[in-house]
């Protein structure tokens, strides 16, 4: 295996309380026979608690697949996935549903909200489904942070894309999940709305110690993260800590020109 992954010092310790999600030698193979595609080939990665991690890589490199596997949305072909210290691999649908309900939050690129519900109802939906009472103060604080106070009774069709995405963020945050997974959350937004959403994600990591994993194509978006993990051909190829947009861009270029031997950890 040409790739090694090195986390920050201390991350090697299993069951570490500071790890929110972990992939251990994860393989994901689609199809069979001739049409076989190995979307992930032995990915191992630890995602620190209270960290904002960005996953980058060329199209088709397995970013979404990795995220789906980490979030328990998809099963892995080989290897193990943990959320906190819970082994996700092999869980049944009922347990997975509960995991998603209680420990994981999602933000998608598009189609994030139920069109029949108001913004507020959408935000509180995971709690309603779980039959939990929302924490009033926390709810108010989240609304305050996303700046949606005057839009709560609107339906998604009456909100702009950026506002919709902020509602989705608030929904993910309000249940205080262990990890929030976001797949290209700004992919559909203009740069200003995108910046708003990213800033909000950044703040929730810093202020509320929320763990966020975000897939993105945008070096700018990645620069909001604490750490960037680069994938190519289903393998982790590089990592950056405290990245700047330029450093991200550079790494990406290097991966493009020299796809095989760039395994390294870079500290910006």
Partner 1 sequence: MLLATLKSLRSRKLRLILSGMAVVLGVMFVSGAFVLTSTLAASFDNLSASVYSGTDVAVSGKAPVAGGEPDENSATVPAELVGNVRAIPGVEKATGVVSVSGARVIGSNGKVVTTSGPSRLGTSWSGTADLRQLRAGRAPRAADEIAVNASLAAAAGVEVGDRVGVLTLQPKKTFALVGIFGYSGNRDTIGGAQEVSFIEPVAQELMLGKTGVYSAIVVKAAPGVAPEVLRDRLSATLGDTYDVKTGKQLQDAAAESFREALSFFNNVLLGFAGVALFVGTFLILNTFSILVAQRVEELALMRAIGASRWQMIGSVLVEALAIGVVASVLGLGAGIGVGALLAYVFRHVGNADLPVESIEIPASAVISAFAVGTLVTLVAALLPALRAARIPPVAALREVAAPDRPLTRLTVAGALITAIGVTALGIGLTGQGGEATLLLLLGGVLVTFTGIALLTPMIARPIVSVLGLLFSWSVPGRLGRLNSARNPQRTAITAAALMVGLALITGVHVVLESATASFTKMVDTRVKADLIIAGEPGGDSMPTFDPAVLDRARQIGGVREIVGEYGDIAMINGRPSRVNVVTDLAAMTRMLPLRTIEGTLATLPADHVVVDAERATELGLRAGSTLQVRLARGDVRTMTVAGIYADDDVYRVGGWILPAEAVHDFRVAQPSFGYLRLAEGANAAEIRKQIDALLADSPEVTVGDRSAFIAQQSSQFDTILAMIQLLLALAILIAVLGIVNTLALSVLERTRELGLLRAIGLRRAQAMRMITVEAVVISVFGALLGLAVGSGLGAAVVRALKEEGFTEVALPWEQMGTYLILAVIVGAFAATLPAIRAARVNVLNAIAHE
Q: Give the footprint of ligand ATP on this chain (CB under 6 A).
A: 30-31, 37, 39, 57, 59-65
Comparison of 126 and 194: residue with beta carbon closer to ligand ATP: 194
Backbone CA torsion sign across 4, 10, 16, 18: negative
Contact status: 186 vs Mg ion (CB under 5 A): no
β-partners of residue 230 are 56, 238
Backbone angles phi, psi at 48, to 5 degrees: -70, 145
Contact status: 241 vs partner 1 (CB under 8 A): no
Query: CA separation (Å) from 112 to 44, 168, 184, 190, 198?
Result: 29, 6, 12, 17, 16
Task: Rounding to the nearest 10 degrees, give the CA dihedral for residues 206, 207, 211, 216.
Answer: -50
3-class secondary-structure state, position 41: strand
DSSP annotation of 33: G
Stretch 56-115 residues interacting with partner 1 (CB under 8 A): 64, 68, 73-74, 93-94, 97-98, 100-102, 105-106, 108-115
The residue count of the chain comes to 268
| Residue 110 touches which of Mg ion, partner 1, ligand ATP, none (Cβ within 5-8 Å per kind) | partner 1
What is the spatial distance between Cα 173 and Cα 200, in angstroms, rounded to a whole number? 11
CB of 74 to partner 1, least distance (A): 5
Contact status: 53 vs Mg ion (CB under 5 A): no
* Binder among 129, 140, 209, 260 for partner 1 (CB under 8 A): 129
Binding residues for Mg ion, how many (CB under 5 A)?
1
Query: CA separation (Å) from 11 to 17, 126, 233?
Result: 10, 31, 24
Backbone CA torsion sign across 146, 163, 157, 108: negative
CB of 26 to partner 1, least distance (A): 16
Contact status: 51 vs Mg ion (CB under 5 A): no
CB of 118 to ligand ATP, least distance (A): 31
Q: Which stretch binds Mg ion (CB under 5 A): 63-71, 109-117, 169-177, 206-214?
A: 63-71
Binding residues for partner 1, how many (CB under 8 A)?
31
Sheet holding 78-83, edge to edge: 37-48, 19-30, 78-83, 86-87
What is the spatial distance between Cα 179 and Cα 147, in angstroms, rounded to a whole number? 22
Q: Which stretch binds partner 1 (CB under 8 A): 126-134, 146-154, 192-200, 240-248?
A: 126-134
CB of 31 to ligand ATP, least distance (A): 5
| Residue 115 touches which of Mg ion, ligand ATP, partner 1, none (Cβ within 5-8 Å per kind) | partner 1
Comparison of 41 and 151: residue with beta carbon closer to Mg ion: 41
Residues that bind partner 1 (CB under 8 A): 64, 68, 73-74, 93-94, 97-98, 100-102, 105-106, 108-117, 125-126, 128-131, 157, 171
């Amino acid at each position: 295996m040409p790739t090694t992954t090195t986390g920050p010092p201390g991350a090697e310790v299993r069951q570490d309380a500071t790890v929110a999600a972990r992939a251990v030698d994860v393989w994901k193979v689609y199809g069979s026979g001739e049409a076989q595609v190995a979307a992930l080939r032995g990915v191992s990665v630890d995602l620190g608690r209270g960290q904002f991690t960005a996953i980058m890589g060329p199209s088709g490199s397995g970013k979404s697949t990795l995220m789906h596997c980490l979030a328990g949305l998809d099963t892995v072909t080989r290897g193990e996935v943990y959320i906190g210290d819970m082994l996700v691999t092999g869980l049944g649908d009922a347990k997975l549903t509960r995991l998603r309900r209680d420990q994981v939050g999602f933000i998608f690129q598009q189609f994030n909200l139920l069109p029949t519900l108001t913004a507020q109802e959408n935000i509180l939906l995971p709690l309603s489904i779980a039959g939990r009472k929302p924490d009033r103060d926390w709810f108010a604080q989240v609304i305050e942070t996303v700046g949606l106070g005057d839009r709560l009774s609107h339906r998604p069709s009456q909100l702009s894309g950026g506002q919709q995405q902020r509602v989705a963020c608030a929904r993910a945050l309000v249940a205080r999940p262990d990890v929030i997974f976001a797949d290209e959350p700004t992919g559909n937004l203009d740069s200003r709305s995108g910046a708003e959403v990213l800033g909000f994600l950044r703040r929730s990591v810093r202020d509320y110690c929320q763990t966020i994993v975000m897939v993105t194509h945008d070096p700018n978006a990645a620069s909001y993260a604490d750490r960037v993990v680069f994938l190519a051909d289903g393998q982790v190829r590089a990592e950056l800590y405290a990245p700047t947009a330029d450093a991200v861009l550079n790494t990406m270029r290097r991966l493009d020109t020299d796809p095989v031997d760039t395994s390294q950890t870079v500290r910006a």
